[in-house]
Structure 1
């Protein structure tokens, strides 16, 4: 038996699923990394996606703290350290954000992250 509140973790996971859904909605019309940079609307999408990536990274750090770093390592399909690190990069080096990196994260990693978060949520 673990020593953390499943309901608190479930709430955080639900918030993360909402954020992942928002990212995917905003990313739908983006076909290349330059789509983020070619218009004000693209820049707004980049900004809003980055905000949700920050939220997700922060939520994972909270889960790690609440679960005494016991929960996330049970799901090695995701490089949790990199997801949390993305939050730090965006927060501390925002003006150095690479649209190509954000594009790759959205295109390749967000769908898998959503699948694993849903799995964790079900198994909680």
Structure 2
């Protein structure tokens, strides 16, 4: 349980960093900047690594989060990095991360990891 709180905080921090890197940016800005791409991809990797370290109990308590897909995404980032579609990464940042941070915030409140 204590470790879960730590990993949830870490996941939140990764998402916050990604939001900071992409704040006020458009897809074109992202596609044109290796610096932003590298920062976003690194934090997505760390985020995905952290989700893999969460306990099965907490994952089972939140089946609405696509834990398996996040783990699979981590494997793509680490092992198939040449095949990464940056336009899909941008969509993930724009569409999926806001929903994920909301759910992670709920989990943190449940565990007292504010």
TM-score, with length taken from structure 1:
0.83
Show the counterpart of 2:10.
Answer: 15
**Structure 1 residue 52 corresponds to structure 2 residue 43:** yes
How far is the alpha carbon of 1:73 from its aligned partner?
2.6
Work out which of the two has the higher radius of gyration on C-alpha atoms and give 1 or 2.
Answer: 1
Show the counterpart of 2:63.
Answer: 76
Provide the rounded CA distance (Å) in 1 between the counterparts of 2:15 and 2:109: 17
If asked which structure has higher relative contact order (CA below 8 Å, sep 6+), I would say 2
Residue ranges of structure 1 left out of the alignment (5+ in a row): 1-5
TM-score, with length taken from structure 2:
0.89
How far is the alpha carbon of 1:81 from its aligned partner?
1.1
**Structure 1 residue 98 corresponds to structure 2 residue 92:** no
Alpha-carbon displacement from aligned partner over 1:38-66 (angstroms, at most 9, x marks no partner): 2xxx1111111110111011101111xxx
Count of residues in correspondence between the two structures: 111
Alpha-carbon displacement from aligned partner over 1:5-53 (angstroms, at most 9, x marks no partner): x221111111111111001111113312x32232xxx111111111011
Structure 1 residue runs of 4 or more that deviate by more than 6 Å after TM superposition: none
Answer 1 or 2: which has greater helix percent: 2
**Structure 1 residue 62 corresponds to structure 2 residue 53:** yes
Show the counterpart of 1:3.
Answer: none
Residue ranges of structure 2 left out of the alignment (5+ in a row): none
Provide the rounded CA distance (Å) in 2 between the counterparts of 1:120 and 1:36: 30
